[in-house]
């Protein structure tokens, strides 16, 4: 089965939000040390690489990632390229000529080009865009940046619009080699009790139908 991997490689170099916990892997056992297997542990933010936020990340009444319906993260999606100014939010007017044909929409902005290098001027989504997409029956929004809100946002207006409309979020995906089209998205979160997010191995399938 042909697929496109839209997940960045997880290494100690991968960028995380300033102040968040960087990824590290601790080798406990190793063949090179005379052991009979390799065994390791990891330490990291759950908002790592390609990841999905849980509602409890941005709202006190939100459910944790283990409680989320997996149907959000599995099914038809549409990749849309949007070109806006650095650090700008995306508004409905920016996609006014695009026919939304899937319940999950992934925005390709090319504004966070290197997963291993943090830049604050990435693009994000506007609350107005969320309300627009909800009226088109969209249930998940994704973006090739670390967040659906600007990096310096304190109000998290887009996160809150997503909570109010019960959408799902997919952040940190890599779309630079993906053409605008309809795909099947598979980006299942781990079932981590009470967690505010989960890393995912996000892939796109072509010519494979799961609504």
Active site residues: 57
> What are the structure tokens assigned to 9, written together?
């490689």
Dist. CA 154–CA 130, nearest whole Å:
18
The helix (H) or strand (E) run that includes residue 159 is helix 157-165
Which residue in 102, 139, 103, 144 sits closest to 125, CA to CA?
144
Give the CA angle between residues 69, 187, 206 to the nearest 5°.
120
Q: Which DSSP symbol is given to 127?
A: H
Dist. CA 146–CA 196, nearest whole Å:
15
Angstrom CA distances, 60 to 54, 55, 66, 132, 160, stand at: 11, 8, 16, 25, 11
Which residue in 122, 135, 134, 138 sits closest to 82, CA to CA?
122
Dist. CA 25–CA 21, nearest whole Å:
12
> What are the structure tokens assigned to 28, written together?
């406990």
């Amino acid at each position: 089965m042909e697929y496109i991997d839209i997940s960045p490689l997880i290494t100690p170099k991968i960028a995380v939000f300033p102040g968040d916990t960087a990824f590290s892997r601790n080798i406990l056992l190793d063949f090179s040390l005379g052991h009979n297997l390799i065994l390791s542990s990891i330490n990291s933010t759950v908002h790592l690489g390609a990841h999905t936020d849980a509602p409890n990340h941005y709202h006190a009444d939100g459910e944790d990632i283990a409680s989320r319906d997996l149907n959000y993260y599995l099914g038809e999606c549409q990749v849309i390229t949007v070109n806006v100014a650095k650090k700008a939010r995306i508004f409905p007017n920016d996609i006014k000529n695009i026919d939304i044909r899937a319940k999950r929409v992934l925005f390709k902005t090319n504004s966070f080009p290197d997963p291993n290098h943090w830049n604050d001027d990435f693009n994000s989504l506007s609350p107005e865009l969320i309300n627009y997409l909800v009226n088109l029956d969209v249930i998940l929004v994704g973006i090739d940046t670390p967040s659906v809100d600007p990096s310096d946002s304190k109000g998290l207006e887009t996160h809150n619009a997503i909570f109010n409309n019960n959408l799902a979020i997919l952040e940190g995906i890599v779309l630079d080699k993906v053409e605008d089209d309809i795909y099947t998205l598979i980006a299942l979160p781990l079932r981590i009790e009470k967690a505010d997010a989960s890393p995912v191995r996000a892939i796109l399938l072509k010519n494979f139908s799961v609504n």
